[in-house]
Chains A and B, each alone.
Chain A
Amino acid sequence: ELKVEQNPLFLSMQEGKNYTIYCNYSTTSDRLYWYRQDPGKSLESLFVLLSNGAVKQEGRLMASLDTKARLSTLHITAAVHDLSATYFCAVDRGFGNEKLTFGTGTRLTIIP
């Protein structure tokens, strides 16, 4: 059974600081996704990572994937209040088994 673990579960950080959210998964996976969810809202797609060594950046967020270590990271640079949200990673098993298995989520709070 595919398991996805995120840490930390909660993260409170000051504006301007850098931090990293970690996502570990238990078995071989073809694709890894990062989503953002604001309170009471749906999931917004942030990144799709398809291969070992993939790195994607959007604004102050950068995601990377190491398939050998079964690890993805979401790095936040110089955090701003607008980044406060819950971040989820999710993986699927590829062709024929594309259902997403989600991590527990990381609730990020940026303090002014």
Chain B
Amino acid sequence: KAGVTQTPRYLIKTRGQQVTLSCSPISGHRSVSWYQQTPGQGLQFLFEYFSETQRNKGNFPGRFSGRQFSNSRSEMNVSTLELGDSALYLCASSLFRGTSPYEQYFGPGTRLTVT
């Protein structure tokens, strides 16, 4: 079974630009979460989607947004990029067991560098 895939793997952008990152979950997984990893702040939750609806949201500014499509694929968008947005962005997918998502499986990440 294929794992979580993320594209692109590496990205270099300039301050003020916007960027869209893509995540394809493991087949059959309907919950997709996004995390940001930086040396200073560690791993921080961005948002989670299930059935095209945002279920949870972390403490990030409105410049960070996401969406999920009917095939469970997800995208996140960052507008008006700042230097501090440079990070590894990780996507994770999970199955639902009963009424709750279970163990999260992480993709390889997208390394975003803002110059």
Contact = CB atoms under 8 A, between A and B. Distances in A.
Interface in B39-87: 42-45, 48, 55-56, 58
B90 A43 contact: yes
B90 A101 contact: no
Nearest to B48: A99
A25 interface: no
Nearest to A90: B43
A73 B73 CA distance: 35
Dominant secondary structure at the B interface = strand
B106 A42 contact: yes
Which of the four size classes fits the interface of chain A? Answer: 20 to 34
A104 B42 contact: yes
B43 A98 contact: no
B42 A41 contact: no
B48 A98 contact: yes
A97 B56 contact: yes
A48 interface: yes
Interface string A31-61: 0010100000111110010000000000000
28 contacts: A33-B103, A35-B106, A41-B108, A42-B90, A42-B107, A43-B90, A43-B106, A45-B103, A45-B105, A48-B102, A95-B100, A96-B55, A98-B31, A98-B56, A98-B100, A99-B33, A99-B45, A99-B56, A99-B58, A100-B35, A100-B43, A100-B45, A100-B92, A100-B104, A101-B45, A104-B42, A105-B42, A105-B43
Interface of A: 33, 35, 41-45, 48, 88, 90, 94-102, 104-105
Interface of B: 31, 33, 35, 42-45, 48, 55-56, 58, 90, 92, 94, 99-109
Given A43-B90, A95-B100, 7 more contacts: A35-B106, A42-B90, A42-B109, A43-B92, A48-B102, A96-B55, A105-B42
